[in-house]
Amino acid sequence: MAAGVTRISDVVVPEIFTPYVQQLTQEKSRLVRSGAVMVDGRFSTLLSGGGLTFNEPSFKDLDNDAENVSSDDPNASSSPNKIGTATEIQVRLSRNNSWSSMDLTAALAGADPMDAIASRVADYWTRRLQAAFVATVKGIFAANALVTPVGATQNDMTHDISGGAYSAGVTDFSAEAFIDACATMGDSMEDLSLVMVHSLVYARMQKNNLIDFIPDSEGKINIPTFLGRQVVVDDGMPNTTGVFDTWIFGAGAIRFGAGNPAVPTEIDRKPAAGNGSGQDVLHNRVEWVMHPTGNAYIGTPAAGGPSNAATANNLAAAASWGRVFSERKMIRIARLVTREF
């Protein structure tokens, strides 16, 4: 029997590890599974080429102009209308992290070390994917709150009942306020299918008996729902001094794509580490697009793309986004702002 210690480089084959982690990340993401984030294969193709931003032109719907009334007058001529265009702009997100084998020692005790390591890395990227999602949506709402928003009516995606001070049953979460937030979509309000809340707001919903649970497709997990919409709980949701955001999404509100960096996964061996006992470092890199449908990234990205921050040119910044779809109901995102204490 061969002696020695199993190292990360013994079980991680980059060509296998990279797509495995990508697949696990998407499978574990509740946002992807819910449909609020739609995986778009075209983005993967774009990420395989060059460029920090990608332009996606499209035709708008026909305007709801009044039709012509037919006439038998040969001198009466109709004037044709035109179809408008819109250009969405996506931005590349180049992210990476690394882990030492000392942090993964326990994982190597598993029955399948490859599965154990990949699962840990996938869990990490699932959390970071959700963080990028939250930052992007923060930016969209920040842009919509501007006094002179680009191509939109100020705050037309938000219903705010937070007021100036807490009032039980008035400023906190309720079914009535939630429906009013959905109604910002007009007659397309039923297109909204997912609710994203902070755990404190979720607790309020539970106390008010507003949550129903349904089993998943395998009958293993009870999925929380509210008025038929799946609920995702995330403490990264915006909140300050008792005021909380609740976000509501329709299918495909955010489109997502994953590409491959030049070297997605590699193992770095440091033989002098540990006073000569040696150390493995696992590096993993991702290329993402996280794009809010109907909008354009209008910032100036850094070389690796924007961060999640609210500072200039980054995902959560108001000035990074502009709406390009003309109708409010085409943007399948709505917000309820409540004051919970």
Q: Average pLDDT, stretch 284-302?
A: 97
Tell me: the pLDDT tens digits for 209-226?
999 999 877 777 788 999
Q: Is the dihedral of CA 321, 323, 329, 332 positive or negative?
A: negative
Whether residue 72 is contained in a domain is answered as no
Which domain does 200 fall in, by range? 9-59+84-339
Q: Average pLDDT, stretch 50-72?
A: 86
Whether residue 221 is contained in a domain is answered as yes
Question: Which amino acid appears at position 56 of this protein?
Answer: E
The pair of three-digit structure tokens given for residue 154, joined into one six-digit string: 């100020």
| Predicted local distance difference test score (pLDDT) of residue 110 | 60
The pair of three-digit structure tokens given for residue 65, joined into one six-digit string: 């102009």
Q: Would you say residue 153 has pLDDT above 70?
A: yes
Q: Is the dihedral of CA 196, 199, 204, 208 positive or negative?
A: positive
The pair of three-digit structure tokens given for residue 72, joined into one six-digit string: 């038998």
| Predicted local distance difference test score (pLDDT) of residue 2 | 45
Whether residue 68 is contained in a domain is answered as no
| Residue 102 banded pLDDT, cuts 50, 70, 90 | low
| Three-state secondary structure of 307-327 | CCCCCCCCCCCHHHEEECCCC
Number of compact structural domains in the chain: 1
Whether residue 41 is contained in a domain is answered as yes
Residue 278 CB-half CA count within 13 A: 11
Whether residue 4 is contained in a domain is answered as no
| Predicted local distance difference test score (pLDDT) of residue 108 | 65
CA distance 135 to 34: 19
Whether residue 79 is contained in a domain is answered as no
Q: Would you say residue 77 has pLDDT above 80?
A: yes
Q: Would you say residue 314 has pLDDT above 70?
A: yes
* Number of other CB atoms surrounding residue 290 within 10 Å: 23
Contact 308, 135 (CB under 8 A): yes
End-to-end Cα, the chain, rounded Å: 65
